[in-house]
Structure 1
Amino acid sequence: MEEPVFKRIVLKLSGEALSGQTGYGIESQTIVAIAEQIKAVHVLGVEVAIVVGGGNIWRGIAGSARGIDRATADYMGMLATVMNALALQDALENAGVPTRVQSSITMQQVAEPYIRRRAIRHLEKGRVVIFAAGTGNPYFSTDTTAALRAAEIEAEVILMAKNKVDGVYSADPFKDPNAVKYETLTYLDVLNKNLGVMDSTASSLCKDNNIPLIVFSITENGNIKRVVLGEKIGTIVKGSVE
């Protein structure tokens, strides 16, 4: 019997992870493959909460750079995450996994409002919960949302699934052939070395609440399950290195 090392996790999926090789929009084959990976973890009895980004549809910072008011651009990005959440919910339920979407922006026709105690109850009942619309506030990233929700629901770890890299490197491995992959880091390392794993607000939240982060590649099938079973892949970021 496979024994998971985590009981409750937050899985952070970037919008780009849902776009596959296209880099834009939602690729059905990719989202189905991700749903199957999540199902493989769900059947082990792990309580899974998911935070999705929206970069495959819209980025608030990019919109702001084009002259759109920053707050407006960020709200547009939040709506993009709702689209991704609904697509992922559909793929999960087609795979036989009961799923609920909770949105930080109220939209009763398509999603539940985010209520912490209700989210925890869903998890306890064996439902996957997808947190959409970020924190509901402009100027905050979905990385910060993942850190905040993980603290609120008392998740044991944040799994940050990447679609281009398999961990945290000293530099961009696509630009610098001498880039070194880290196996273990502290949040102070991430902040001091400006490694770009997640923004400083998210890193500080994780550090202050002692929430470990595992950065790994989602493109290799079965990686989510490997991480949950305790296999050492990717990069582990935590408060201190023993």
Structure 2
Amino acid sequence: MEKPTYQRVLLKISGEALAGAPGRGIDFAFARQVCQVVQDCVRHGVQVGLVVGGGNFWRGVKDGGGRMERARADQMGMLATVINSLALQDVLEQLGQPARVLTSIPMGPVGEIHSQPAADRYLREGKVVLFAGGTGNPYFSTDTAAVLRAAEIQADMILLAKNIDGVYSADPKKDPGAVKYDAISYDQVLADHLQVMDLTATSLALENHIPVMIFALADPQNILRAVMGERIGTIVEEETKS
């Protein structure tokens, strides 16, 4: 069996990517495809941590902005990530892949409270670890939560599976002349204000020397291609390689 390039990764999936046709809820057929590929990664010896957003149910700033207090709206978003994590855990276990949900806030039987030692132990045991509840604090995105958990578990790479196939010089939907980058440095991302992750997440990844690969989740096999070392999408790193 071909050996993976990365031994331990943090996979971040947007909640919107799991949404059904109406743009809300969970498309379980697609979720199963994603989980099958995650299971394939584990079978190749990759340790997988997973953070999933909650935008298919609730986006704090977007859905609550101007109508409710920001911290409470963000807390609702955290709960949405728990819903998605439980759904993915169930799909993984249906496939025979052990998975554990660790929550950033105490939630009793819903999930075990997050701790770095527990996450490390489960990953070494071949379990997929789903980090739910964001950072546990309002005003921080799930991108920031993903980078934080990646730093804690000392992930080799952050895999950012999005609805776009990489990083562009401008919004390709608005600018037909937008150029896609194969690789880009964190310094350029910050200097050009490119929308890869929010500023806090980008700075945290840079500070902890964790590269990020951004690619489209439309084809879930891209996850396996990424861990096997195929350079898909865009890689964001400290210094781009010529």
TM range (shorter): over 0.9
1:112 aligns to 2:119 (yes or no)? no
Partner of 1:209: 208
SS at match of 2:109: coil
TM-score, normalised with respect to structure 1: 0.97
Q: How does 1:48-67 map to 2 (within 5 A)?
A: 48-67=48-67
Q: How does 1:133-152 map to 2 (within 5 A)?
A: 133-152=133-152
SS at match of 2:165: coil
Deviates most, 33-42 or 57-66: 57-66
Superposition RMSD in Å? 1.0
TM-score, normalised with respect to structure 2: 0.97
SS at match of 1:54: coil
Query: Residue 83 of structure 1: CA displacement?
Result: 0.2
- Give unmatched runs, 5+ long, in structure 2: none
SS at match of 2:146: helix
Please say if residues 217 and 234 of structure 1, whose CA atoms lie closer than 8 Å, have aligned partners that are also in contact: yes
Q: Deviations over 1:121-173 (max 9, x none)?
A: 000111000000000000000000011111111111100001x2111111121
Distance 1:231 1:196 in 2: 23
Partner of 2:46: 46
Q: Deviations over 1:15-72 (max 9, x none)?
A: 0111154422111111111111111111101000001110111011113423210000
Q: Deviations over 1:177-209 (max 9, x none)?
A: 111110011111111111111000000000011
Query: Residue 8 of structure 1: CA displacement?
Result: 0.4
Distance 1:239 1:155 in 2: 16
Please say if residues 99 and 129 of structure 1, whose CA atoms lie closer than 8 Å, have aligned partners that are also in contact: yes
Partner of 2:182: 183
Distance 2:112 2:133 in 1: 12
Give the aligned residue type for 1:34.
Answer: V
SS at match of 2:110: coil
Q: Could you tell me the percent identity over the aligned residues?
A: 53
SS at match of 2:6: coil
Deviates most, 58-67 or 6-15: 58-67
Distance 1:113 1:206 in 2: 24
Distance 2:231 2:50 in 1: 21
Partner of 2:198: 199
